[in-house]
Amino acid sequence: MEIYAPTGNTGEPQNSLASPIPVLNGLSLGILDNTKPNARVLLDRLADRLVERVGLTLALAETKNAALAASDQVLESLSKEVQVVLTASAD
């Protein structure tokens, strides 16, 4: 019988996150709504607070099906028009 220990090197992640943006003031904010119940309520409230507190401009809202990845068209639209994107899952 072989026993495998759950410790050890797991390797480097294949994807990495974008570098954090040091200053949000004056940037455009996009919302990616996954259409789950209450997701848009959560995103709208967060967006309102960010607009108030750090001067972001709400520029674009897109929706996608929660069961599927966002389409290339949605991601391309967001990448061209905004510098910051909020997305969330809610139920």
Per-residue pLDDT of the chain (91 residues; tens, 9 = 90+): 887 777 766 677 677 777 777 788 888 988 888 888 888 888 899 999 988 888 888 887 777 777 888 888 888 888 898 988 888 776 7
Residue 12 lies in a domain: no
Write the burial class of residue 38 (CB in 10 Å: 0-12 exposed, 13-18 middle, 19+ buried). exposed
Residue 14 lies in a domain: no
Residue 40 lies in a domain: yes
What range defines the domain where residue 32 resides? Answer: 28-87
Residue 17 lies in a domain: no
Residue 11 lies in a domain: no
Radius of gyration (C-alpha) of the chain in whole angstroms: 18
Task: Indicate the number of domains in the chain.
Answer: 1
Residue 1 lies in a domain: no
Report field, pTM of the whole predicted structure over 0.75: no
Residue 10 lies in a domain: no
Residue 3 lies in a domain: no
